[in-house]
Chain A
Amino acid sequence: MLPASHRDSIVGDLEEVFDGRVRHGRVRASLWFWGQALKMSMGFARERLKASVLTATGAPPAGSGLRGLGADARFAWRLARKTPWMTAASVIALGGAMAVTIGGFSLLWDSQFARLPFEHGDRFVAIRDLELEGSDDTPPTLAVYREWEQRQTSLDRLAAAFTRSRDVSDGAGGSARYPVASITPAGLEMTGVRPRLGRALLAADQEPGAEPVVVVGHRVWRVLLGSDPGVLGRTLIVGGERRTVIGVMPEGFRFPVSDDLWVPLDIDPARTGGVEPRWLRVFGRLADGVSIERAEAELDAIRAGYATGHPESPGLAERRTSVAPYVKTESEPGAEVMFQVMFLFMLLVLAIACASVANLLLSRTSSRAGEIAVRAAMGASRGRLVRQLLIEALLLTAGGAAVGVVVAQAGLTWFGSNVPLENTPFWLEFGMNPATVVFAVVAAFVAALLAGVAPALKATSGGMQHVLKDEQRSASGVRFGRWSGALTVIEVSLSVAFLAAAALAAQSLLDATASTQALPSRQILVAEVSLVDESTEDAFGEVVVPAGAIPPSQWSTVRDEVRAAAAALPGVGAVVVSNPFALPGQQHSSTFIELEEETDGEPATGVRTLLASVSPELFDAFDVALLAGRRFDAGDDLAAEPVAIVNPPMARRFFGDGSPIGRRFRQASAGEAGPWIRIVGVAAALQMNPSGGDQPGFYRPIAQSRTSRFMLALRVGDDPMALASALQVAAKGVDARIDVSNIETHEELAKGFLASYRLMSLMFAALGGTALFLSVASLYAVMSFSVTRRTREIGLRVALGGSRQRVVGSVLRRGLRQIGLGVVIGAVAGFGLLRLLSFIPIGVAPGGPLLLALAAAAMLTAGLAACVPPAVRALRIQPVEALRHD
């Protein structure tokens, strides 16, 4: 919008001022910059419009400046009330689309740019290591952290923490599970937040021999400790350790992410014994005036230096250290992209809504061609007329934005109250932030431009004389055919594509629910068991654990004992032990495999194959029949040949008609040295992913793997939860160091995994429904406008003996052509969208073509229905009416 000759220098000027403002916060400066850029564009656009009017008319536009605005707005308001249906349709359409977009924007903004509510919150950064290959996140090691602590200068605070979910009890019977952060004292101190009671952690609390202490969050204090004002000095049992309460943090404080209790983090190598926390989170505050890039360069150099000096530390050299704004690190790189794609979809819906409103405006404007021509004839300049029409559009989009803000706020509040607190970082607010409001206002203006400019320019283009003449003959208004036709086609095609995606997601949900219901889910109790908190592989691939923890050599024995203890509980039938995420209905992990010999089936290369390590009882507990071969037995242990039982899709796909029994394969990730795994059986299909899709997969005996974390599944009678505490006690009875968590029925477990499907199908259904509504509204508007416009022509043709059917056919033909074209384009786009969705790693039900056909049929029906009322009206036109139409 800026004049080309001045664009660079103006942007340069803005950048110069921006650089000066960045000191007061980058986000604010960026907002300022874009605000200025927007204002400039609008200012120059206005200037250009004025200039063109000036050259066209040789006189300044009448009523330019602010004076005419009020009158224009009042006129727009009257017009909106005179055409209530059109106004309602526009506001509803825009409101729906805006709600989706505004809500999405709010979440996106919070997750990417939220300001931490601390002093110098904008200087908080997170420090991560990224693998050079694949850029995967990997936690920094304690050794490197210590090195940073000693050498770095670009941060004025540096801290580390990691979070575990722990049973916390007050020693008097009250107990609950909370996220507990082990954190270096600097981590609490850097926030500048003072405890509500007592004190925060101090360096002295980290010293050897210091009294074990804990700082509790407001929620724990209120719920578990009954808001006891004399809580300081009381003893809490946190994950089996007795700790003295020394402080209570104020309400809402959940730093570093969503934590409820804080204990000192021990980073002394002498005491940790080289064991790394499962996921160390390192963060800090940039020193005044230091850029993120400089801090990153320094920390990376320190890590690289340490890696060179310690070649025995595995993998340290194949990383790079990354420093990023604090809030950005919570969303994984993939999630960020997913979020942005979703946001693009939302913008697309908003664009369709604008197109629809543009269509409605086009038809309303064209029926006012006479009025516009008269205004022009009486001296209104084109600029003035365009402004009038734009204000009419703005009134509609502002209404839509207002509806959108209210709906988005309600939706976010609902969403926020339905997401467990443990899973939400403390900076997510689930509400309107200032940036969102700015976004809503900008969206309303942009939407007004999108929806209003085309009708306005179209209606005021060319000489007005012919319109006036036309109007006298009352034949046709301004010709809008091509514009509105194209808009309708776009809407129809997007409806088809979205509806198909919605149907696909819904189908996945139904399939998944059906497969879960086929299982005896309600009679199965599941629990997560963890034998040790932390374990680390050392340079020789040996697993080391902290002193006092259950040593790896005992893991399989303890696992068997826990299984036996659970089986001995009253009323318990089969007891399954499996790897985490290996129970039916959970998303199993996947791998690529290679077959030893060629088979009749398709090549296995590049096909994601699911895997689970389970105990033989899985097949009893979930009533799964063995179709061929044998079960796992006691002989299938670490010393024996690796074996597997495959599911029917794997047998069918990779082995064709031949029997898979006795064949061998191996995991491609293990490379040439990987052991061959012999297939000993084929079991009936069990859901290895939430949707229960037809994905190949195989089971391995858990006795052939070594893991300290596993799932227990107990087949019980009708009320599995009644056994929950008995199971806890039984496991602790085997070894008090064992941690049992997330005890629930299998039904609940499977439901959790279905939540993403529900969300996805809801989202696409909302998008598809909105698009459908929009296209029906457009079709109806365009068709009924066309009938009105051609009343005289239709009447004449009927009077001259034309058959009504043919006349109406000629009216309908255009609408039908648009629907047809839209459906075809939508089917192609929808096919692409379905393909895209099936790449999402969670299983998506097959059956795309059928769903597309259904979506297309739905669109056709709705589209035809929209054409019926105008067609009926056309049928009823009497020749006399045509003559009266003047």
Chain B
Amino acid sequence: MTDRALGELEQLILLAILRLGEEAYGVPIVEEIQRRTGREVSRTGVYVSLTRLERRGLVSSRLADPTPERGGKAKRYFRLQPEAIERIKASKAALVQMWDGLEIEARR
């Protein structure tokens, strides 16, 4: 099951977690993807994917101490597992290989 290729949203999420570092929990992850890609993503999709990635062992999460904000509910921070790094590298490499020699980008 773990060898299933990463979906696009999953790649975006993993990259967002990587970018956010210590600050990677639900709200900023969604915002980071929206800010960088400039498009709306489904909040539900992100959260469902996060639990799925966690189940597949690609990310791990920890619960921070609750703060008085947000109704006293704790944030859950995510971080990548080594395998996830391998997988996004592989995804990127695959894409780069496929793009090699194509010039669509230049015309845009």
Contact = CB atoms under 8 A, between A and B. Distances in A.
Nearest to A7: B73
B27 interface: yes
B51 A16 contact: no
Residue from B52, B74, B76 having most chain A Cβ neighbours under 10 A? B76
Contacts of A10: 26, 47, 76
A40 B43 contact: yes
Given A6-B51, A6-B76, A47-B51, A13 B44 contact: no
A217 B13 CA distance: 59
B38 interface: no
B71 interface: yes
B48 A44 contact: yes
Nearest to B72: A12
A43 interface: yes
B39 interface: no
Contacts of B71: 11-12, 15
A47 B43 contact: no
B108 interface: no
B73 A12 contact: yes
A47 B70 contact: no
Interface string A1-27: 001001011111101110100000000
Contacts of B41: none
B64 to A, nearest CB: 9
B69 interface: yes
Given A40-B43, A40-B44, A43-B44, A12 B75 contact: yes
B45 interface: yes
A9 B26 contact: yes
Given A16-B27, A40-B44, A43-B44, A8 B73 contact: yes
Interface residues of A: mostly helix, strand, loop or mixed? helix
B73 A47 contact: no
Nearest to A11: B73
A3 B44 CA distance: 13
B94 interface: no
Nearest to B77: A9
B43 A8 contact: no
B47 A6 contact: yes
B93 interface: no
Contact of A36 (B25, B43, B48, B51): B43
B43 A9 contact: no
Interface in A665-704: none
B63 interface: yes
Contacts of B73: 8-9, 11-12, 15
B91 to A, nearest CB: 20
Contacts of B1: 54
Contact of B26 (A13, A19, A54): A13
Contacts of A473: none
A39 interface: yes
Interface string B22-54: 000111000000000000001111011001100
Question: Which of A9, A10, A19, A47 lies at the interface centre, i.e. has the most chain B CB atoms within 10 A of its CB?
Answer: A9
A12 B47 contact: no
Interface in B47-105: 47-48, 51-52, 63, 69-71, 73-76
Nearest to A60: B4
A47 B48 CA distance: 7
A39 B70 contact: no
B7 to A, nearest CB: 12
B76 A16 contact: no
B70 A43 contact: no
Interface in A41-56: 42-44, 47, 54
A9 B44 contact: no
Interface string A58-93: 000000000000000000000000000000000000
Given A9-B73, A10-B76, A43-B45, 18 more contacts: A6-B47, A6-B51, A9-B26, A9-B74, A9-B76, A10-B47, A11-B73, A12-B73, A13-B25, A13-B26, A16-B27, A16-B69, A19-B69, A40-B47, A43-B42, A43-B47, A43-B48, A47-B51
Interface of B: 1, 25-27, 42-45, 47-48, 51-52, 63, 69-71, 73-76
Interface of A: 3, 6, 8-13, 15-17, 19, 36, 39-40, 42-44, 47, 54
5 contacts: A8-B63, A9-B76, A36-B44, A39-B44, A43-B47
